[in-house]
Amino acid sequence: MAFNKIQSVETPKFYLNTAFSRARKEEKKYRNNLKKVGKAKRTVMVEKHRFNYVQDYFKNAFHKLVSSFPSTDQLSEFYSELLSTYIEIGTLKKSLSTISWAASKVDELARMYSKKLGQDMPYSEVLKVRKSFYGRVSSVINRLEKHLLYLKEARRVIVAFPVVKDNLFTVCITGFPNAGKSTLLSRLTSAKPAIGSYAFTTKQLNLGYSSFNSRKVQFIDCPGTLARPEKMNYIERQAYLAVKYLASIVVFVYDLTGEYSLREQDALLRKMEGFDKKIVFYVSKTDILSKEALTEFIGSRKENFIFSADLLVEEIKRGLASWA
Ligand SMILES: Nc1nc2c(ncn2[C@@H]2O[C@H](COP(=O)(O)OP(=O)(O)OP(=O)(O)O)[C@@H](O)[C@H]2O)c(=O)[nH]1
Ligand SMILES: [Mg+2]
């Protein structure tokens, strides 16, 4: 999804100034090409050209703007829910359709006012027609203010969305803050995520890709504790939706080096189990973990644990092989 292609959104004043000042420049160029035409006829031709320019400007600028927004009906479930978390989709649609409506209204006005320009009209009358035309166009465009503001805000939200692929076998790496998720991502893929010795290092969804048996696999580093579903922050919300809609397998990273209690980590695991996805258990930092601690942990659990990235890859390959 090419969210970075969304055109920047300006104020009504900006669009009006641009349209009118460019129309004036265009008019000059056009006038120079009409030296052989009689004065009265030329005045009217030049004015019509100006009206046409304004008409085309809004048609093109607004078409470009509206069509650069993603079509909300064609979004995948992941993006659809992500978008509706931050943006009122009905308002977005209404704003976009009002912008398109304004372009067609300007089109209609340009035709109507062009017809008012008579062949033998004195210049003072021509100016009056232009003034009325510009006044009507300004009133249509000025009415767009709140819609343009809404689109500006929607754009700000949408361009920051992670660019995920929703048709690939996807491994979501989850676990408590500082557990080693980003480190694992950097071991499994060529991604170079930020790795910090403190919790909440990852502030965006880190994505990485690898190919196994010539099949591409997407890895998503999904941070956050998902502690309060109703109060999830921006990144937690993305992580939650990635697990819900994109994960083919969830890797749950346990950190036994003591920073967070097992009880807390287990609580996050319960939440992951709620998604009904296959979960693979990985224990990080085994290089600094005592053998006793590890043995005690494994002995107290019924799940199978993986301790190395290589063995994890084998597990992912098995999942990939049985994936449709
Ligand atoms: N010794 C050792 N340290 C590790 C290992 N994996 C991660 N770490 C360290 O643990 C700290 C946290 O690692 P990250 O990969 O940033 O952890 P994270 O889960 O992405 O953390 P957040 O982004 O805050 O959720 C860093 O200081 C890493 O260097 C490991 O296998 N062994
Ligand atoms: Mg991280």
For 169, phi then psi, to 5°, come to -60, 125
Give pLDDT, residue 224.
83
The verdict on 66 and 152 lying in the same domain is yes
Please identify, among 138, 159, 180, the residue that sits at the C-terminal boundary of a domain: 159
Q: Which of 181, 184, 195, 251 is the pocket-test mutation for ligand 1 (most atoms within 8 Å of CB)?
A: 195
Token output for 86: 């931050």
221 CA closest ligand 1 atom index: 20
Token output for 252: 């749950």
Rounded to the nearest angstrom, the distance between the alpha carbon of 201 and the centre of ligand 1 is 9
What whole-number distance in Å separates Cα of residue 46 and Cα of residue 132?
17
The verdict on 218 and 140 lying in the same domain is no
Sign of CA dihedral 295, 301, 304, 307: negative
The verdict on 196 and 132 lying in the same domain is no
The verdict on 99 and 178 lying in the same domain is no
pLDDT digits (tens, 9 = 90+) for 78-100: 999 999 989 999 999 999 999 99
Q: Which of 172, 178, 184, 197 is the pocket-test mutation for ligand 1 (most atoms within 8 Å of CB)?
A: 178
Regions of the chain where pLDDT drops below 50: none
| Other Cβ atoms closer than 10 A to 289 | 17
Rounded to the nearest angstrom, the distance between the alpha carbon of 286 and the centre of ligand 1 is 12
The verdict on 183 and 152 lying in the same domain is no
The ligand whose atoms approach the alpha carbon of 236 most closely is 1
Residue 54 lies in a domain: yes
Q: Concatenate the DSSP letters of all residues of 88-155 into one string.
A: -HHHHHHHHHHHHHHHHHHHHHHHHHHHH--TT--HHHHHHHHHHHHHHHHHHHHTTHHHHHHHHHHH
Question: What are the beta bridge partners of residue 278?
Answer: 249
Rounded to the nearest angstrom, the distance between the alpha carbon of 184 and the centre of ligand 1 is 8
Residue 55 lies in a domain: yes
| Other Cβ atoms closer than 10 A to 244 | 16
Please identify, among 141, 159, 177, the residue that sits at the C-terminal boundary of a domain: 159
CB 96 within 8 A of CB 48: no
Residue 103 lies in a domain: yes
The verdict on 178 and 127 lying in the same domain is no
Rounded to the nearest angstrom, the distance between the alpha carbon of 309 and the centre of ligand 1 is 14
Residue 295 lies in a domain: yes
Which is nearest to 60 in space by CA: 34, 22, 93?
22
Give pLDDT, residue 24.
94
**SS3 sequence, 271-315?**
HHHCCCCEEEEEEECHHHCCHHHHHHHHHCCCCCEECCHHHHHHH
Task: Give residues (CB < 6 A) around ligand 1.
Answer: 175, 177-183, 195-197, 199-202, 223, 284-285, 287-288
Minimum CA distance residue for ligand 1 atom 5: 285
Residue 198 lies in a domain: yes
Give pLDDT, residue 324.
74
CB 47 within 8 A of CB 34: no
Token output for 321: 């092989």
The verdict on 236 and 128 lying in the same domain is no
The verdict on 31 and 118 lying in the same domain is yes
The verdict on 316 and 178 lying in the same domain is yes
Which is nearest to 43 in space by CA: 127, 137, 128?
127
Which amino acid is present at 183? T
What whole-number distance in Å separates Cα of residue 194 and Cα of residue 196?
7
CB contact burial 97-115 (16+ within 10 A = b; e otherwise): ebbeebbebbeebbeebbe
Minimum CA distance residue for ligand 1 atom 8: 180
In the 8-state DSSP scheme, what is residue 36? T
Token output for 276: 């009904």
The verdict on 142 and 182 lying in the same domain is no
Minimum CA distance residue for ligand 1 atom 30: 285
The verdict on 141 and 185 lying in the same domain is no
Rounded to the nearest angstrom, the distance between the alpha carbon of 179 and the centre of ligand 1 is 5
Please identify, among 109, 124, 159, the residue that sits at the C-terminal boundary of a domain: 159
Prediction pTM value = 0.85
Question: What are the beta bridge partners of residue 218?
Answer: 170, 209
What whole-number distance in Å separates Cα of residue 98 and Cα of residue 182?
44
What whole-number distance in Å separates Cα of residue 39 and Cα of residue 208?
67
In the 8-state DSSP scheme, what is residue 236? H
pLDDT digits (tens, 9 = 90+) for 226-274: 766 677 888 888 999 999 999 999 999 999 997 889 999 999 999 999 9
Domain that holds residue 91: 3-159
Give pLDDT, residue 37.
82
The verdict on 144 and 206 lying in the same domain is no
For 28, phi then psi, to 5°, come to -60, -50
**Domain CATH for 294:** 3.40.50.300
Rounded to the nearest angstrom, the distance between the alpha carbon of 218 and the centre of ligand 2 is 16
Residue 222 lies in a domain: yes
**Domain CATH for 41:** 1.20.120.1190
The ligand whose atoms approach the alpha carbon of 180 most closely is 1
Minimum CA distance residue for ligand 1 atom 25: 177
Residue 91 lies in a domain: yes
Residue 164 lies in a domain: no
Domain count for the chain, please give it.
2
